[in-house]
Structure 1
């Protein structure tokens, strides 16, 4: 049931429990089929399939091929508007005139080129009404027939699939990893966790559930199934749970319309509230922050009907304002407003994470006499805060030596705002002291490797996965701020979408920026050519799915290439049946159809809130081009978004992100070098077991090696 999911998340194939037999022929066919989509099976996987009876072997092989095709976006047909793309793409205006002439001739009239151009220039033409505009004029098979065969190259991607344990064990392993994650999960992973929580409700549970949204998901399932709740230690945990089971927002950022709760569920929720407040009445200090949701929830839970839980009733008394309880955050804020910074820091020592998140503000506002006390409070909190908070603060202070030209604020929905950075910089000696203390604490908390470290150089530029909210699901998708080298001589962007109910027009575009982040050109449906870049043509209806491509030779002028997806009309990214963005790298003479799975370097879903998607930027550096992941969405207009209309806002966000120093895996590797020998992976298998850290696992690692790949990098964060 979950075999595909396991393959998508881990690149591990669950072992079949089918009958033994001779499946060698199936194994050979699978190996060939995988190579066609840029994958290969490990020796152990091929041997496992070869040892199965033909029936189970075929079933497992079919699941594997289907899963990896979906992973790289090869499960749909990527047609292009111009059948010869990237060749034979006309000039934009010339093409529009052709479509307009066809419309005029269809009406029994004739017009000169000058008359047709005048109509276009006056804006009196609706392109959607022109014959053949925005809809495919050829089949997918005709597209394939128009292209030469693909020529494989040494630089094409080849990703290894490994044999896992049984499906039950792999599902359990994935469930425990997601449920016990130390970083917040993205929307897609939260949905997966919800599915797995049902299947694993009676199995092993993680020793701790640090992320509160994860608790809400797990407890939502457990509430419905009648299982005891886990890890409820604040009143807000109960509120999140009520929101989640009401199909609302467990992060509490968006108001929830609570459903009716059966009496059994009301008893569970009120008993949990009573236990939390009874054990620590100070937890009532969190209630006022969410007073309105609490009042609405009280109308559904009827706490007055349950006199056996008096502490639970106190929650709603505070929410209604009949009793005033000031929490730690409120007391600290009052002290800051009164100018008492050192006392505010002292109050926050009771909440180490909150203190560290406010460290910059306290240090900026502290007087010279108070600064030492604030530094001592911050230093004292390092040992109690979570490792994720420590890494976040370490990254923050590294960016506080010089003022940033623009300051970007990105929320959990991957929407971003920018503004001027008006904060005074922190003193050099203070940044150095905090950095040294953080480095020591983070290094002390890193897990002790059982073997020497073997590190793939490609993983060093991956930003630490401090939050799954800063990424999309997909294939080879890296956290925001991650950098990866771009091989080959040609970038090919692809964007696919399929509408649900109404005509939906997405537009793939590229904005070119110079070294100063000024506009240096663009390619879109309004401009098919610029400086060697080529657009595949505008598709305006995706009832059966549609794809647009843009080719970018890496000889292009400019310093930054910014692909973006604009919603011109129709359904949002969250409403369409499917939408994705990805990029391929190719040699200029490889030929083949516009889409070939073997050249796909990354593919991400497009599921954010906003009308303009900025998945990534490509930056030219001294050592060549690098892909830098953005995972951002702009609000945009309700309709008719175009690349020309958002050049300024796009450039601001690109600059803010590109110029920020992100904490990457290279930082953790440096800390580890004091605990174990560290070597870089060169392609030669080591002599003995190692702790391997990389994007994906290579073939040939010795038995007993510990392997940490992209799906497990979060496990390496300090505890």
Structure 2
């Protein structure tokens, strides 16, 4: 478990925990330099400070740290598996698609076993490529593929991610636990799992001042229940979320949970906590109706009738069964809106400020005239100071995108990354209203932001979207929140995907769609179009019992369109959430670098594929007016077909979706930096040349080496800490 915690710290913080109280010989210097050299092959490097710290440790300690850390960083960029390619010389010598298929047919006709079936299908006029013995399976070993490629030539543009010295493992675990548990924004599933591990080790240690996100509180409460500590409950829904966590279900309550049988001590803890919440504030029974069916199913596991000493808890289940009335707050709001009394609905919603801000657009659209608009805005202004910073910023992003006209396309994205587009039937918000809303929201955000002192900013971070939800970012390396934009520097852009099936044959197809300025299809690369002017495909692999990889190599200078949209299509077999492992990434390199199809130090991004759809759209690349390419992060999934998904069949859906997404402007780090700069003692743009002589608040894509003690560092790994409470 100690090693698992250490790996978790390295992955989340790029800091290496160091042992405390070293009393052995300080002979780790040579080994530390060898460790540094080995890391560079994977695109990582030890900071000068970390090299010094490792040199003070015994050699055997450094060796053990090096082995564990090297495994961690290799897995982070996808180098922990063997990436073979179907065409051994890829990207060279990739055949024409039709010629390759005919070659497979010819090989099948030369095979005595396969010939009769192939001839029969040819006579019928339909030939399934998957029935050809040589199609879709590797024709060479991984070692033979490596021997066919020259070594990678180092280039100045190769990625180099720096690892920094950390404190003791105990200190680092505590700091990461406090950061995740106290997050002001929801965490993704991967982070929630990591939080569960950390919480199990920190229930008796320091705790965050507040745990504002309810699903995070559920994860922490599960650890506290296991440790016999007091539970953190202030609503009936907190108890329901905890029950879901105990059954490894969905703590967000968006998907139904199949509750497990619960032990008597657990049942007593849940019912006792529920009773205390309702006894203190009976009005909270109104929250039961929102999850009535879940409460009914939970009641079958808790048996509240067996515990008459907690009558308030029993009322919860009586409300769920309809035996006791508890009108919900939302039903009262709907009743007022149904009568057309928008001002009264807004006044009522001031008792629930978060709901008021979430319903603000609807209220403004329903307002019957200037007086009602003013009443809604007055209610909004009184409620703003009482809501979370995440809600304030989410509304700010919404408002800045409400300048369109009726009939524009509207994009919806759910928590799982599922996306769809529809016509926007809302009337536009008047510019005066939008300006007033933005002014109030910006003033409130500025009030909550801490004084940054001296602000040091890497300009590359300015177009990163604010992480208002961890669910808008896939787990992985170098991944940015949905809507972020990052520059792409290099001549060759190479996509890769890897998957390993769990129990049945699974075929994923990596493809890339090229679109013009009007989002019309120019061409594509896939197993049905192995080569084009733009580049080449590594070949179709149709079975992955030991894992399989596919690649697409693009020459950016040859791309005839303005957009390149890579995608991973599920053709057959297990979905993205069923396979043992699946991920997507991209590499950048120069033409003269050569090297293997997969080179870890050229990997710029690697993200897990764990979504509900059958077509994954991790990101898109767009060429700007200056001719430079940029990556725009999507993290989306299309529903697709039950099987046989192909780029040719979903190109219209992708085009419509991309058009709608690019019409929106996310709220970025630039917005908060502009607000923070007013209270900063100085704002400096980081160019990597000179270090400040005192503590700073640094915001950038990576932590610079050698920042003064006491500096606050915000990078994509902890950018959520920038969102005010």
- Shorter chain as denominator, the TM-score bin is over 0.9
Structure 2 residue matching 1:199: 3-state secondary structure:
helix
1:31 matched to 2:36: yes
Structure 1 runs (4+) greater than 4 angstroms displaced: 108-111, 116-123
Query: Within 2, Cα distance between the matches of 1:123 and 1:476?
Result: 48
CA–CA distance in 1 between the matches of 2:293 and 2:388?
30
Shift of 1:20: 4.0
> Partner of 1:421 in structure 2?
424
TM-score normalised according to structure 2 size = 0.96
- Give me the whole-angstrom Cα distance separating, in 2, the residues matched to 1:157 and 1:418: 36
Report the CA distance shift for 1:481/1:122 in structure 2 as closer, same or farther (over 3 A).
farther
| Cα distance in 2, alignment partners of residues 688 and 664 from structure 1 | 27
CA distance in 2, matches of 1:518, 1:163: 50
Contact 1:447 1:716 in 2 (8 A): no
Match 1:559 to one of 558, 562, 582: 562
The superposition leaves residues 480-504 of structure 1 with CA deviations (integer Å, 9 ceiling, x where unpaired) of: 0000000011110010111111111
Match of 1:91 in 2: 96
In structure 2, the residue matched to 1:295 is 296
Counterparts of 2:636 and 2:204 in 1: how far apart (Å)?
A: 38
Q: Aligned in 2, Cα 1:120/1:388: closer, same or farther, shift over 3 Å? A: farther
Deviation (angstroms), 1:229? 0.7
| Inter-partner Cα distance in structure 1 for 2:538 and 2:52 | 43
Q: How far 1:21 moved relative to its partner?
A: 2.2
Cα pair distance change 1:288/1:121, threshold 3 Å? farther
Aligned length: 713
Q: Secondary structure at the match of 1:697?
A: coil
**Per-residue deviation, 1:563:** 0.4
Query: 1:666 is matched with which residue?
Result: 670
User: 1:30 and 1:316, CA in 2 relative to 1: closer, same or farther beyond 3 A?
Assistant: same
TM-aligned CA deviation for residue 456 of structure 1: 0.8
Q: Structure 2: 5+ residue runs without aligned partners?
A: none
Shift of 1:131: 2.5
Distance 1:121 1:691, change over 3 A: farther
Shift of 1:202: 1.7
1:622 aligns with 2:628: no
Structure 1 residue 303: Cα displacement: 1.7
Flag the 1:120–1:376 CA change in 2: closer, same or farther, 3 A.
farther
**What is the aligned counterpart of 2:696 among 669, 690, 694?**
690
Residue number in structure 2 paired with 1:50: 55
Q: Which residue among 699, 703, 707 is the counterpart of 2:709?
A: 703
Query: What does residue 17 of structure 2 align with?
Result: 14
- Aligned equivalent of 2:223, options 205, 221, 224: 221
2:70 counterpart residue number:
65
2:345 is equivalent to residue 344 of structure 1: yes
Match of 1:448 in 2: 451
Answer yes or no: is the 8 Å Cα contact 1:507–1:566 preserved in 2: yes
Q: Secondary structure at the match of 1:361?
A: helix
Give 1:122 shift. 7.1
- For residues 83-135 of structure 1, give each alpha carbon's deviation from its aligned partner in whole angstroms, at most 9, with x where no partner exists: 11111000011001001001101239999xxxx99977976222222132111
Partner-residue secondary structure (3-state), 2:185: coil
Aligned pairs (5 A) from 1:65-464: 65-107=70-112, 124-230=126-232, 232-368=233-369, 369-403=371-405, 405-449=408-452, 451-464=453-466
Q: CA RMSD in A?
A: 1.8
Give me the whole-angstrom Cα distance separating, in 2, the residues matched to 1:140 and 1:295. Answer: 55
The 1:675/1:402 distance shift into structure 2, 3 A limit, reads same
Q: Which residue of 2 aligns with 1:716?
A: 722
Structure 1, residues 258-317: CA drift from partner, whole Å, max 9, x if none?
222222112211111111112211111111121111122122222222222221111111
Report if the CA contact (8 A) 2:185-2:723 is conserved: no
Residue 529 of structure 1 aligns to a residue in which SS? coil
| CA pair 568-110 structure 1, distance change in 2 beyond 3 A | closer
Q: Secondary structure at the match of 2:571?
A: strand
Structure 2 CA distance, aligned partners of 1:455 and 1:108? 66
In the alignment, the residues of structure 1 paired with residue 84 and residue 567 of structure 2 have an alpha-carbon distance, to the nearest angstrom, of 19
The answer to whether the Cα contact below 8 Å between 1:304 and 1:313 also exists between their aligned partners in 2 is yes
Query: Residue deviations 1:638-668, cap 9 Å, x none?
Result: 2111111211221222222222110000000
8 A contact 2:184–2:724 mirrored in 1: no
Query: Per-residue displacement from partner, 1:614-661 (whole Å, max 9, x unpaired)?
Result: 100001112311101100111112211111121122122222222211
| CA distance 1:121–1:365, shift in 2 (3 Å) | farther
Query: Are 1:97 and 1:117, in contact at CA under 8 Å, matched by a contact in 2?
Result: no
Give how far 1:225 is off: 3.1
Residue in 1 that maps onto 2:611: 608
